[in-house]
């Protein structure tokens, strides 16, 4: 029971950190919004500038708070039960509750990490740590222990990496995060028995990674927005999918911190192709 009390204390700390992050993110954004409003007034073109900015509304804050509350509620509920019913719960029930606490806090920490990354990107202090490595190996490794959903959905996944890429400097953890998000999106938005094709290649001095799927695709009007805002495309086919819409915002921040580019194009005959490039050589990006 003592250890449970320690656990509760840890959870209280996580909660406090989350609230702190939100308060600072909120005020930071309010500050940026007022700066922006001044610029907008100067230009006399309020609609266009506000519309093209990342920070033109706080609509996403309640949604993110909700995303934080859900796992916290699970954790609190499970911890409450463990404390109140200590004498009546059997071993497997206790393990089940502790498992819920562990999964929810892992999800929570991931989300808090994402929010911090986005906050750093917005304030221009996000950095990558580059070291020499093989992009080819990284991609193959991730694919080799991919999502069990690929099997469940009977998705046909292929990698095309004919061209030998030389080793070059990049931040492996961060690039993994980009690739993981593109792959998990492709899996998420591709229906059963669809296919995903990963193509690795080079274009001049840039390595180029493409993740193409035969899923619902991205409407033209949403193509640019996805990378800039906390949005999820509103086509009915994917409206039921879970997620915060932070993944691509972070992916763009990471790729650009390397000096690369990321974009989405249509796949033929259907689906989406998410593409990113990373500079391979010499000069710093």
Ligand X SMILES: Nc1ncnc2c1ncn2[C@@H]1O[C@H](COP(=O)(O)OP(=O)(O)OP(=O)(O)O)[C@@H](O)[C@H]1O
Minimum CB distance to ligand X smaller for 82 or for 186: 186
165: helix, coil or strand? coil
Q: Does 177 bind ligand X (CB under 6 A)?
A: no
Select the span of 36-44, 96-104, 162-170, 185-193 touching ligand X (CB under 6 A). Answer: 185-193
Q: How many CB atoms lie within 10 A of CB 20?
A: 10
What DSSP designation does 75 have?
H
Q: Does 117 bind ligand X (CB under 6 A)?
A: no
Minimum CB distance to Mg ion smaller for 75 or for 121: 121
Q: Does 128 bind ligand X (CB under 6 A)?
A: no
Q: Does 178 bind ligand X (CB under 6 A)?
A: no
Q: Does 181 bind Mg ion (CB under 5 A)?
A: yes
Q: How far is the CB of 172 from Mg ion (least distance, A)?
A: 20
Q: Which residues pair with 196 in a beta bridge?
A: 157, 213
How far from chain centre, in Å, is Cα 198?
19
Q: Which does 272 bind (CB under 5 to 8 A by kind): ligand X, Mg ion, none?
A: ligand X
Q: How far is the CB of 263 from ligand X (least distance, A)?
A: 12
* CA nearest to 130, candidates 166, 164, 173: 173
- For the chain, the first-to-last Cα distance in angstroms comes to 52
- Distance, in Å, from the CA atom of 169 to the CA atom of 188, rounded to the nearest integer, reads 30
* CA nearest to 229, candidates 5, 37, 55: 55
Minimum CB distance to Mg ion smaller for 170 or for 189: 189
How far from chain centre, in Å, is Cα 88?
40
- Distance, in Å, from the CA atom of 56 to the CA atom of 12, rounded to the nearest integer, reads 32
Supply φ then ψ for residue 133, to 5 degrees. Answer: -165, 175
Find the angle CA(151)-CA(267)-CA(187) to the nearest 5 degrees: 25
Select the span of 91-99, 117-125, 179-187, 205-213 touching Mg ion (CB under 5 A). Answer: 179-187
Query: Do 159 and 200 form a contact (C-beta atoms < 8 A)?
Result: yes
Q: Does 245 bind ligand X (CB under 6 A)?
A: yes
Question: Of the candidates 75, 244, 254, 280, which one interacts with ligand X according to CB under 6 A?
Answer: 244
Query: Do 133 and 170 form a contact (C-beta atoms < 8 A)?
Result: yes
Q: Does 107 bind ligand X (CB under 6 A)?
A: no
Q: How far is the CB of 80 from ligand X (least distance, A)?
A: 28
Q: Does 267 bind ligand X (CB under 6 A)?
A: no
Name residues contacting Mg ion, limited to 208-267 (CB under 5 A).
247
Q: Does 181 bind ligand X (CB under 6 A)?
A: yes
Q: How far is the CB of 281 from ligand X (least distance, A)?
A: 29
What are the residues binding Mg ion (CB under 5 A)?
Answer: 181, 185, 247
Q: State the residues that interact with ligand X by CB under 6 A.
A: 181, 185-186, 189, 213, 215-218, 226, 232-233, 238, 243-248, 272
């Amino acid at each position: 029971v003592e250890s449970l009390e320690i656990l509760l204390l840890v959870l209280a700390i996580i909660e406090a950190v989350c609230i702190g992050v939100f308060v600072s993110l909120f005020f930071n954004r309010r500050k940026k919004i007022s700066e922006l409003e001044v610029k907008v007034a100067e230009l006399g073109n309020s609609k266009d500038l506000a519309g093209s900015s990342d920070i033109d509304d706080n609509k996403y804050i309640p949604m993110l708070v909700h995303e934080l509350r859900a796992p916290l509620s699970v954790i609190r509920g499970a911890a409450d039960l463990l404390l109140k019913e200590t004498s009546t719960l059997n071993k497997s029930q206790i393990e089940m509750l502790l498992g819920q606490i562990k999964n929810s806090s892992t999800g929570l920490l991931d989300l808090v990490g994402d929010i911090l990354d986005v906050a750093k990107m917005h304030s221009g202090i996000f950095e990558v740590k580059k070291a020499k490595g093989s992009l080819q190996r990284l991609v193959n490794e991730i694919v080799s222990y991919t999502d069990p959903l690929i099997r469940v959905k009977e998705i046909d996944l292929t990698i095309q990496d004919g061209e030998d890429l030389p080793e070059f400097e990049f931040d492996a953890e961060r690039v993994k995060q980009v690739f993981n998000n593109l792959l998990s999106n492709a899996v998420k938005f591709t229906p059963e028995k669809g296919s995903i094709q990963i193509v690795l290649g080079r274009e001049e001095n840039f390595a180029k990674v493409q993740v193409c799927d035969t899923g619902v695709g991205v409407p033209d009007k949403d193509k640019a927005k996805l990378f800039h805002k906390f949005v999820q495309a509103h086509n009915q086919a994917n409206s039921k999918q879970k997620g915060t819409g932070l993944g691509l915002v972070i992916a763009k921040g990471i790729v650009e911190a390397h000096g690369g580019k990321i974009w989405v194009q249509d796949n033929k005959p259907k689906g989406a192709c998410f593409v990113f490039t990373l500079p391979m050589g010499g000069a710093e990006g």
